[in-house]
Chains A and B, each alone.
Chain A
Amino acid sequence: MWLKFEQRPEPSRLMRYLSPLLAVGLMVASGMLLFHLLGKSPAEGFKVFFLNPVQDKYGVAELFLKATPLILCAVGLAVGFRGNIWNIGAEGQLLIGALAGGGLALHFHDTNSMLLLPAMIVAGALGGMFWAAIPAWLRTRFNANEILTSLMLVYIAELIVSWLVHGPWMDPDGFNFPQTRLFQAKATMPILVQGTRVNAGLFIALGALIAGWIFMNRSFMGYQMKVAGQAENAGRYAGFSARRTVWIGMLVGGAMAGIAGVAEISGPVGQITEHISPGYGFAAMIVAFVGRLDPVGIFFSGLLMALLYLGGEQAQQYLALPYSISKVFQGLLLFFLLCSDVFITHRIRWKK
């Protein structure tokens, strides 16, 4: 017996919504299997990984805190992905955004102005856009594949951060640790709920979700991006500019990632170090896909991905498993999603 896919006459609306749930189910199931193989109790593993992190108010707040940069990056990436712009360098744009915003905070270390934080956010967006503009320019001007160039720029961004915190920007009173001095109060995000770390960055993320939704679903430009992504020739036939699609896709992604970077350094991190982001820029691609490139979906998948991060920390603490287990879960989730998506357009037939 061998399975065969048969095209549905009409794509299934039901499966469009079921397929992410199916993917999550499969991910949890294979996670339990993994725990079992590692000699841990699957039930215990499930509890530690998926339930423990959100047991109390602090845990839920952490969930939203972690989801903030993921949602920000994912909304920006979704705009590009819809237009077939494969910006996979959000991690680098996040870092450069953090450097731009953080540089401002370090420069105006003594200011008392309320404008510092907003200025940092703007600088972060500009920094991210600058880093994203490089692959956009290389693509529109030289036809260079943005997948590879944007990714290479991640490595370069990491090295720039490393150079700055080891060199020019190193905290003079920091015992030679590779980090900058801590930011002052005017350069940090206000905390929303006392006793937790969740901060005003969450509002920016929610605002980005709403703006993203309007752009994608209501604006003519969003429509043009969708056309370019689904049928390049139709876009050209209509006379929509392919260059503009590339630029907007990349720049929006870069701006959002840059803001996410500022949200991290002015929020939970509080300074620039070599470890600003535990791979948020990459995880955000999964968030975007699992969320169907739609802001509503991204909200939920952002929370799910945040849970995987927190679950990884818990597993490290209570099950003595490496933290990287959360990346294993992330990869599995995306795989299962991509595979279950076939059921939207196809159904299975068993062949003898």
Chain B
Amino acid sequence: MPNAPSETPRLVIKGVSKIYPSVIANDNVDLTIMPGEIRAVLGENGAGKSTLMKIIYGVTHPDKGEILWEGSPVTVQNPAHARELGIGMVFQHFSLFETLTVAQNVALAVPGRLDLAGLSRRIEEISGKYGLPVDPRRLVHALSVGERQRVEIIRCLLQNPRLLILDEPTSVLTPQAVRKLFETLRQLASEGVSILYISHKLDEIQELCHTATVLRNGRVTGHCTPSQETPKTMARLMIGEDLPTFHHGEPEEGREVRLRIDGLSVKSEDPFGVDLEDVSLEVRSGEIVGIAGVSGNGQQELLRAISGEEPVPDKRWIHVCGVPAGRMNASRRRALGMCFVPEERLGRGAVPRLSLTDNVLLTAFRRKMVRFGMIRRKAAKTFADDCIRLFDVKCGGAASEAKSLSGGNLQKFIVGREILQEPKVLVLAQPTWGVDVGAASFIRQQLLCLREKGTAVLVISEELDELFEICDRLVVIAKGRLSPSKATSETGVEEVGVWMSGMWPGAEPAKDEAPHVA
């Protein structure tokens, strides 16, 4: 690590605080990064990592504290100012514009006259130099998630940044693509670029980063050198306790098929969507099946087809507990015993401005909460109270608005609401996405209990670790197709990573373009 003591730090943050009406996002945070240093900023969801980065990039402004850029105090006015200083940022939820071309997207972040031809040449130069292939003329909505990330990185590199911030960059990549990204980052660091790497993935930080700063509840709880730590010690710094582990019984053979998908093919109505091709899958009673894949490969479309939010033309494509259900809407499928936890909590899984009691009605109304077309609010309230108690939902009671709950607690409420309906089939999308570690392990434990009781559970997740932890079998989705299934114990991250690029044995070569991965 090029960290001679005489050198001026590239960036020093002293005592920075940011207070929102309901939460202290950053509390007296200190951080220093030297030229050529790769520093991890480690913390759980909600620990204040993203806020800190937004402060450095000028998207928000601190309430207190000081920022020194290459030795002199600065107030970062806005992102344009940050870019002028030499700070670049790659966002977790990309800040790209779908209907514009790659070159136009880049132009939006480059000051000066609009010269798309010249810009395209420079994009190609950079992409050649750092091994980030991308075509400047293509529209962003036609790009895979990995390609989009490259566009973001190129957009930063065009301005010759001296500090590059990456916010959870690997959540959208296959393990192989992660390795390629790390090569690029190391190359940049060797050229003297400082890199702030935000993540909650301990193994990646160990592999890539020279130093790490750990945040918890908005405060710095420690600095460390990842190469001298174990994941366990870093986890303790991050969450204040040890990572929970699960025990997992052997699956029983020969149980009945509860959810059968058979030759499902759907053309996406959304021009930016993915078409599903000949998807087949069975989930049996008492097992947890996981669907792995890089986001944007048809997960959304598959979920909507399974849940009934987007019924499919042929009723035999989807069987729920033996009943052909392809053309049924979500409510009728629920009547067959299927429950569903969607990825978005606010606005899909729950109505933000309604009370928890009213949100119970959304899916559980069949449990004697409606009589003669009128609502029996008492029954709904009882259900909500049970759910809050049994699933340890921290809130101001059943009358609180869904919007007022934290992400983890709302997720516990939604999972609880679905589980308490005693489903025969439970489908979950990203069950622990953006949820703190405690709530995540609680939810995983609940899924394992449900499995013991004989429910067929299907989990779609982008977190491979999670899938390997709880699933009996895994399949992979890529470009709208599904791989064969494999028992979790007989495969590993490496193989699944290869499959995530669409290259499983027997896969037809993709017709038009490279699979939707990096």
Contact = CB atoms under 8 A, between A and B. Distances in A.
A220 B347 contact: no
A220 B375 contact: yes
Nearest to B358: A223
Contacts of A237: 307, 309, 330, 340, 342, 348-349, 362-363
A227 B308 CA distance: 17
B117 interface: no
A234 B331 contact: no
Interface stretch (A3-11, A32-40, A155-163): A3-11
A253 B291 CA distance: 46
B181 interface: no
Interface string A231-266: 101101111110000000000000000000000000
B363 A231 contact: no
B152 interface: no
A238 B375 contact: no
A179 to B, nearest CB: 44
B351 to A, nearest CB: 5
Contact of A239 (B332, B346, B352, B358): B332
Size category of the B interface is 20 to 34
A100 B373 CA distance: 31
A142 to B, nearest CB: 15
Given A237-B342, A239-B308, A230 B21 contact: no
A329 B263 CA distance: 62
Given A233-B348, A237-B349, A10 B307 contact: no
B375 to A, nearest CB: 5
A227 B362 contact: yes
Nearest to A227: B351
B329 interface: yes
Contact of B362 (A7, A11, A238): A238
Contacts of B365: 220
Interface in B322-376: 329-334, 340, 342, 344, 346-354, 358, 361-363, 365, 370, 373-375
A231 B333 CA distance: 21
Contacts of A220: 361, 365, 370, 373-375
Given A239-B330, A239-B332, A241-B329, A234 B350 contact: yes
B22 interface: yes
Contact of B404 (A10, A227, A234, A241): A10
B401 interface: yes
A113 interface: no
B21 A234 contact: no
A45 B308 CA distance: 60
Contacts of A11: 353, 401
Contacts of A107: none
A239 B350 CA distance: 13
Interface centre among A11, A218, A223, A237 (most CB of B within 10 A): A237
B353 A230 contact: yes
A223 B401 contact: no
A226 B355 CA distance: 12
Task: Please provide the 8 A-B residue pairs with the shortest distance between their CB atoms, ordered closest to farther.
Answer: A239-B331, A239-B330, A9-B22, A233-B348, A239-B329, A231-B347, A231-B351, A238-B362
Interface of A: 6-11, 218-221, 223, 226-227, 230-231, 233-234, 236-241
Given A223-B358, A223-B375, 6 more contacts: A220-B365, A231-B347, A234-B348, A236-B330, A237-B342, A237-B348
Interface of B: 21-22, 307-309, 329-334, 340, 342, 344, 346-354, 358, 361-363, 365, 370, 373-375, 401, 404
13 contacts: A220-B361, A220-B370, A220-B373, A223-B375, A226-B354, A231-B352, A233-B309, A234-B350, A236-B309, A237-B362, A237-B363, A239-B330, A241-B329
